[in-house]
Structure formats: structure tokens, C-alpha cells
Structure 1
Amino acid sequence: MTTLRAHRGTDAAPGPAPSDDEETGTDRNSGRRRSRWHSRILNGGTGRWRRGRLIAVAAVLSALLMLAHSRIPNAFGNVGSLVETFLPWLWVSVPALLVLALARRSAIATVAVLLPALAWCSLFAGTLTDKRSGGGDVTVVSHNVHDENPDPQGTARALSSSGADLIALEELTPSSTSVYERVLAAAYPHHVAQGSIGLWSKYPLHDVKPLAIMPWTRALRATVDTPKGPLAVYAAHLASVRAHPSTGFATTWRDKTAGKLAAAVRAEPLPRVLVVGDFNGTTDDRALRPLTAQLKSAQATAGDGFGFSWPAAFPVARIDQILSRGVTPTASWTLPRTGSDHLPVAASLRW
């Protein structure tokens, strides 16, 4: 007789099937984690482009300020001239904005900082190159010696040691003039001093006359008989400027004296002209354009860097100029500090 036995284990009946939720629970948790991860990535990336919009706007405005400085109106407080006086210093906006952009972790602000950097380079990259060359037929030095200079004798010796052929001095006083005449006499036998302006020369001077740019003498004109031919030299100290919160950048007197000097230079019959002195303004300042448009800046043409000349302790602006017409600047530089609040400026010129 055959015995039937019940088999358990593998042959046992299967239990109830798992529900759909149990089957997909792991997948759902994994999906949620992936979703959160993707959200962080996407939102983080988007955030970097959304953050720092104000910094980006400031960068764009800084670039526009540099490129459109000539369109800034002078109607109120001569703001345009003030910006142009210190125009090269707008570079400080680039590192300042870059630090803010990096601190904010803003991609859009970091990219926007490139705009003022490129704008500044387009204006001044060429200024930073060394354009000096050898040679030169005449070397000139111009120096505002400061009417309160405590050591005019030391200043005179420093200027004489420069080896310049011509030395123009501004802000002379009756007492200091006699010191410069005594110290410079051996090397510069020809000189003229009128009012607060003086010109010392290794070559003969004639046709000397004061220029009426102000009620008192702050400018003169002379013909220098150089070995290469006559050179008309204008030495001038334009009126001072003042900055005040209520009046702004006061340049009215300076601008008027610049216009009178420009008219005299325009009427000059000699083909070779040299204009030097303390202009209380930079060649970027539109108010000096009647003068600078006629002449070539030695610093811009043949300098190395900006050649800032004032104040002597920490120069921030080139307000002492050497300009020319009919001769070619070959080099331009500043001399070491004297007892003045200005640095002496120098240039070599070639016929």
C-alpha cells in the first residue's frame, strides 16, 4: 500500500504577496534623495548668478564712469573736472568690487568686474609702458618750489645737479629768488625772474615779457637761443583750485588763466614752443583743453607711468606739466623730492 506523505519547506504554500508600497519604498526614498541633491546643485548654481546684482550694477556704473567721463556735466560743482583730475585712480574700484563679489560668492558680480578692468586698461594701459628713448637736444626742468620752502638753497642745488639746460621755477618769493640766483648763477648764466616766475638757462634769453593771465605776474614768455635754433618758452603758474562741500570743485580762476595762456600760445609766431609750469590741473581735465589741444604732453608721449607730481609726500595727480609744439619729447620723468610740496618734472626734447 502506498503511503502518502506531506512535504513542507520548499513545497510550502507561499505567503501573501508584498504590497506595492513595500516594493517601491526603497526606490521612492532613493528618488527623494536624488531630487534633493539635484535641487541643491541647481539652486546653488542659480543662486550664484542671482546673488550680487547690486555689485554687478556698481561694476557697470564704474566702467561707464571711466569711458564716459567727458560726458559728466560741469554745470554743478565742476564734477566732470574733478573726476578727470583723479581719473587714473578709478582703478581702485576694480579690486574693491572683486573682493565684494568673491565674498558674496556671486558669479554675475565676478564677471561684471571685468568691465571696469577692461575700461581702465583701454584708457591707461599705454601709460604704464616705458616710452622713453635716448637723445634729446634740450632738457628742461619745471618746479613749483613752494613759497614756504624751508630749504631753497638745497632745492636750487638739487635742480642744478639735474644737468638741465632750462629750469623754470614757480612760487618764487623776493627772499627765495635771491637764493636761487646765487646758487644757480655758475651753471645758468642767463636768467629772468618776474613776479613769482623765473627762468634759468644755459643759453641766451631775449624777447622776455610777462603775460597778463592774472592781476599779478604768474607767467612769462622768453625766446631761448639754443644751438639748434630759437625756442619760445612759456613758464606759467595757473590759478589755484579749491574743493569745498558747498561749492564743489572751484576752478573758475584756473580756467580763465588757462584760456589766456592758450590764447598767447596760439598767437606765438615761432614754430618751436615749450610751455611748462604748475597748471593746477591734469591733461585729462577738459577745462585745460584750449591749451592742451595745441600742444603735446611730454609725459604722455615719452614718459614711464603717470608721473604724478603732487603732493610730494604721496603724489596722486600730475598737475605740473611740460608741453611742446614743433619739437619731439624723447623722455619725461620726475626728480626726487625737495623742500617743496611738489615734485620737479623733467623732459628731454629733440628738434
Structure 2
Amino acid sequence: MVQAYEAETESGDPKDPVTPSRSRLRRLGPFRSWRGDPGIWRRGLVLAGCAALVALLTGLHAHVPNRIGNLGSLSETFLPWLTVVTVPLLLLVALWRRSATALIALLLPVLVWFNLFGGLITDKSTGGGDLTVASHNVNADNPDPERTAKDVAASGADVLALQELAPGRVSAYRDALAETYKYHAVQGTVGLWSKYPLQDVAPVDIRLGWTRAMRSTVVTPQGEVAVYVAHMPSVRVKMRAGFTASERDRSADALGEAISRERVAGVVLLGDLNGTMNDRALKSVTAQMRSTQGAAGDGFGFSWPASFPMARIDQILVRGVEPVSSWTLPRTNSDHLPVAASIKL
């Protein structure tokens, strides 16, 4: 009798018992019928405006000014995440508000995102590469440099570039890699290890006052390749100064100038650029080279931070050669993931 009474008080029909929890769910916005509700088009105009703003910021990111705190470069560093994070949140609110206008508007940022990044989702790798290259920021405070060196060498790379080599630990990397790589050269805090001879090794001035970039000609069985190794200055996000990247930007311009003067037809750049391919501040480099991840990778290939990769700031860029595959390697003791690529000469 008690159960029948409770059912009748909730549903009005003792033959159709409804629990209190189900009744409350039916009264909630997302579970109510939208039919016959004229407000579905009037509600959510603010949400629709937010969706349109996300679409504009994503599609027209190049027009976000850098004059104030380098906001343009900051947004471009994490550009894919702008839509990935905001659209699901706006979608939940639109459903809660029962706004058809907001739901339709959410199609805008989704379409813009797929137009910019949809090509990165599919696997574009092919076979037939002549040379495998790898790059890794090993972290100056790496507690086990020998293990890190061996882990990266296990990738089978013919040419390996390392950045952030602490002066007192270069010998550890040299000893760990000696069995795999017959040739190597270190300039400042960057180094290059190769199974093929190295010629014309020289530092590259990137306007820092100390050496964080180098160049060498790698003599492969298929011909010569100019290989650059670079570690751009770090960037920071500060409350008052914003995205501080002026030092990195100057170094990127200097690196771009050096590469533009390169006379060897095939060029490969390996390094931690502390910026993504979308970042306009790196255009002096990215405008003249292709990303192996964008051309032959599978996915975004995020490399930093290693614990939860959110951006690809470790790059393998090429000019005059054809990338056939690109991938990230398993995590080491560094805060960056190693990256690798196979190229056809």
C-alpha cells in the first residue's frame, strides 16, 4: 500500500510507477522534450557568440596581436586545444539550456578545427626511407644519461641529435653511444651522432652568446645531407610580462638566416625549437622547411611535457628531401619525448 501511494503521488497513475529520482531527471533541462518549445531558438545566444569567437580565434589566429604579452604566439602554441577544450564544455551547457541556436553555432569551431588539423589525424606514413633521424632534448638534469642515450639509440636512428647536454655529462653520452655511432660531434650544449661520416662541423650563431646550435654535412650512401641541430631559448608565461619569447624569436630569425644560406640541396633540422609549427615567431624557419610530422606522421606527435604531451615543440624539419614517416619515441628520463622520422633522399 505504501509503494502504491508513493507511485501515485509521483506519476498520477498507480499503473505507471515512477521513482522520485526518475521524476526529478525528467524535470531536468537536458531530459525534457524540446518539441513545441519556442525558446530553443531564443535561448543560448551568448553561448552561440562564444562558439563563434572560438571559431574566429582558431581560424584567424594569425591576426591575434603579439604586441600585448605575445598573445598570438601563446595561443598558437596550444592552438589545437582551444577547440578541443572549449567545445565540449559549450556543448554541455547548450544541452542544459536546450538551445538549438547554440548547438548549430558549435558546428563552426568544429569545422574550422577539422579544416586546420584534420589532416594530422590520419596516418600519412609510407615506406622506402633512406635515412632515419631522431632528436631528443635529454634534459640537463637527467639522472641517468647512459640509460637515456641507449633508449634513444635503440630506435635504430642513423643520425641522432641531442640537446641540453650538460658540460659535465657529455662523456656519459659519448660512451653510451660509442658502440652504435662511429662518428659524433658536440658544439656547446648540442651534439650529433651518426653512423655515417660527418664533415664541415661548425657552430651556428643564433645570437645567444653561447653555442646552442650546430651544422654538419652527413655523407650517406645516397649523398650528402646538411644537418642542423638547434635548441632555441626557453619561453615563459609570466603574470605581468605575458608570454616572454623575444630571445627565442631572435634566435629563430638567426637560425632561419643560416639555413637560407645553405648550399647543400638536402637539409634536415633537428631540435627543440620551443615552439610549434603554428607559431608565427618561427616563420623564418618554418616558411622554408616542412614538418615531417605534418607531412608523414600519424597524429599530432606532441612531445612536451613528457608526462602529458600537449605541444610539439621538438621538431624534425626538412628541405629538399622527402619525409616518409614520423613518430615519437617512448619516454625517457627527460621531460621531453624523443622524436624520429624516416626520409627519402
> 1:166 maps to which residue?
159
Structure 2 counterparts to residues 85-100 of structure 1, below 5 A: 85-90=77-82, 91-100=84-93
CA contact (8 A) 2:44 2:97 kept: yes
2:110 is equivalent to residue 117 of structure 1: yes
4+ aligned runs moved over 3 Å, structure 1: 41-44
Shift of 1:46: 1.9
Shift of 1:42: 11
- Equivalent residue in structure 2 for 1:319, among 299, 313, 322: 313
Distance 1:49 1:174 in 2: 65
2:171 is equivalent to residue 178 of structure 1: yes
Distance 1:201 1:265 in 2: 20
5+ unaligned residues in a row in structure 2: which ranges?
A: 1-32
- Backbone CA RMSD of aligned residues: 1.3
5+ unaligned residues in a row in structure 1: which ranges?
A: 1-40
Distance 2:100 2:228 in 1: 54
Shift of 1:175: 2.4
The superposition leaves residues 238-279 of structure 1 with CA deviations (integer Å, 9 ceiling, x where unpaired) of 111111110010110000000000000000011111111000
> 1:80 maps to which residue?
72
- Equivalent residue in structure 2 for 1:219, among 213, 216, 231: 213
Secondary structure of the 2:270 match is strand
The superposition leaves residues 125-144 of structure 1 with CA deviations (integer Å, 9 ceiling, x where unpaired) of 11101001112000000000
2:87 is equivalent to residue 101 of structure 1: no
2:327 is equivalent to residue 333 of structure 1: yes
Distance 1:336 1:249 in 2: 29
- Identical aligned pairs, as a percentage? 57
Distance 2:46 2:152 in 1: 51
Distance 1:174 1:76 in 2: 37
> 1:293 maps to which residue?
287
The superposition leaves residues 198-253 of structure 1 with CA deviations (integer Å, 9 ceiling, x where unpaired) of 00000000100011112111000001001011110100001111111100101100
The superposition leaves residues 279-322 of structure 1 with CA deviations (integer Å, 9 ceiling, x where unpaired) of 00000000101110100110000000000000000000000000
Amino acid paired to 2:269: V
Amino acid paired to 1:240: S
> 2:9 maps to which residue?
none
What TM-score, normalized to structure 1? 0.87
Amino acid paired to 1:97: L
Amino acid paired to 2:55: A
The superposition leaves residues 131-164 of structure 1 with CA deviations (integer Å, 9 ceiling, x where unpaired) of 0111200000000000000111110110111110
> 1:256 maps to which residue?
250
Structure 2 counterparts to residues 1-351 of structure 1, below 5 A: 45-90=37-82, 91-213=84-206, 214-351=208-345
Secondary structure of the 2:90 match is helix
The superposition leaves residues 327-350 of structure 1 with CA deviations (integer Å, 9 ceiling, x where unpaired) of 000000000000000000000000
Amino acid paired to 1:248: G
Distance 2:180 2:51 in 1: 54
Which is higher, the Rg of structure 1 or of structure 2?
1
Amino acid paired to 1:151: D
The superposition leaves residues 37-65 of structure 1 with CA deviations (integer Å, 9 ceiling, x where unpaired) of xxxx9995321111111111101111111
Q: Which moved more, 1:329-338 or 1:114-123?
A: 114-123
CA contact (8 A) 2:129 2:344 kept: yes
Secondary structure of the 2:186 match is strand
CA contact (8 A) 2:34 2:40 kept: no
What TM-score, normalized to structure 2? 0.88
